[in-house]
Amino acid sequence: MLYSLIKPLLFAVDAELAHEVCMELLNDLQALVPQTRVEKPVRVMGIEFPNPVGLAAGLDKNGDYLPGLSKLGFGFIEVGTVTPKPQAGNPRPRLFRLVRHQAIINRMGFNNKGVDYLLSQIPERPRPYVLGINIGKNLSTPLDSALDDYCLALKKVYADADYISLNVSSPNTPGLRQLQSEKALDSLLYGINECRKALQDHHQYNRPIALKVAPDLDDRAIPVIAELLVKHHIDGLIATNSTLDRPQVNKHALASEAGGLSGEPLCQKSRNVLSSFSQALQGEIPIISVGGIMSAEEAQIRLKLGASLVQLYSGLIYRGPGLASKIAQSINI
């Protein structure tokens, strides 16, 4: 109800400013908001999730807003993308609303305060949600040294995360998506698995690792990636990140803005990638579906197509923060 009243004001100002104001307001008012808990437990990647509806990475990059977000009924919250060192990201403006398409274009560029700051914001267990931490490489790190950044971040977050996701699919870090090619991904996942083995030995417990992929993969790449996930014992797949394609919004004044497109126009593409990976993996690795999920009906479709969990982002912007609990209460698992 409150969101419907303030939404016109938020949509009247710069999108990134509105995001910051809304998230600060959520934190400031969280003490007044009753805890929303939706108990539809599901076990995925060896973790007991309170319900299968999560927040996608990108909305809370630094863990600043976990107190407020924890009240919204999410079964899991994924923070980040976080990099080993702080970085400013791309120049503003870098976030754009395409309102009539219920879409967003962003070229944020992994703006974040660095992994050490993120860790200082994470509450101790027990938490009322599963916490995922999404990690990436710094812009200044050459692509052939990307593994060093991922391993450094993995070591830092291993104890505090419930699972860790690897972002190799953002369109806003130059060259990053090249890590999805067969040779590069084989090498990266081998190195990640070796790093994880050492961390398991040291900590004496396992933290599941998921890979987040782009929606713009060609059909030949999907079975190759699926095979590599199994080969290197990766625990989950997150499909998908934002898209570079613009056919559904090409007449919009903002369509030529650089960056990844998310929201309603991504829906069918994300469905297609989910379905293809589901066929390729045959249940060997669980899939978290994200991209264009704006309703409980769409979330249910993703589960039927083979997803074990779903994540929201743009839907929260257009439908409001009550969307998470509404979907969690409505879907059947």
**Residues designated as active site:** 170
Instruction: Name, in order, each residue with C-beta under 8 angstroms of 46's C-beta and a sequence gap of 6 or more.
Output: 206, 208, 235
User: 96 forms bridges with which residues in the sheet?
Assistant: 105
Omega before 141 cis (within 30°)? no
Contact 79, 60 (CB under 8 A): yes
Q: How far apart are CA 333 and CA 313, in angstroms?
A: 21
CA distance 224 to 142: 24
Closest CA to 187 of 232, 141, 156, 222: 232
| Beta carbons of 40 and 328 less than 8 angstroms apart | yes
Instruction: Give CA–CA dist 79/121, Å, rounded.
Output: 11
DSSP strand pairing (103-106 vs 130-135): unpaired
Cβ–Cβ < 8 Å for 102, 113: no
CB 262 within 8 A of CB 103: yes
Concatenating the DSSP letter of every residue in 89-154 gives -SPSP-EEEEGGGTEEEE---S-B--HHHHHHHPPPSP-SSEEEEEE---TTS-GGGHHHHHHHHH
* Beta carbons of 69 and 26 less than 8 angstroms apart: yes
Q: What is the DSSP letter of 308?
A: S
What residues pair up with 238 in beta bridges, in sequence order?
Answer: 212, 288
